[in-house]
Amino acid sequence: MALIRIAEDDTFTQIVRFDVPADKQLELIDAIASEVERWVRHRSGFISSSFHASFDGKHVVNYAQWKSKADFEGFAHDPETEHLQKAIKAVATSLKPNAIRCRVVRSITPVP
């Protein structure tokens, strides 16, 4: 079985996990997704943003990719991020994102 490898590149990935009250899970996803749709997706270098909801309702994971770390930093320093932070806090003031910044170094795909 041959593995397909993707060479490391400049793609920047941020994975953010939120621990959330189960009754607020979908509200949090909607709040963040609304901001992504409103302005984040129009930022230079934005690739995608995916939202994952745990089955127990207690976690939300956001997986976002950018063409480069510089593109992500441009987004992170945009004054519009204040609206994103306010949208998150409006769901529950206790929410604290746990962010992990990564790069792709290997990817495995199905055998054709």
**pLDDT for the residue 8:** 65
pLDDT over threshold 80, residue 61: yes
pLDDT over threshold 60, residue 56: yes
- In this structure, is residue 55 part of a structural domain? yes
Position 2: which residue type? A
- In this structure, is residue 4 part of a structural domain? no
- In this structure, is residue 76 part of a structural domain? yes
Q: Which two tokens stand for residue 13?
A: 């990935």
- Please give the tally of structural domains in the chain: 1
CATH number of the domain at 22, please: 3.30.70.100
- In this structure, is residue 50 part of a structural domain? yes
**pLDDT for the residue 107:** 76
Average pLDDT rounded to a whole number, residues 78-82: 96
More confident residue, 1 or 23: 23
**pLDDT for the residue 110:** 85
More confident residue, 111 or 100: 100
- In this structure, is residue 86 part of a structural domain? yes
Phi, psi of 89 (to 5 degrees): -65, -30
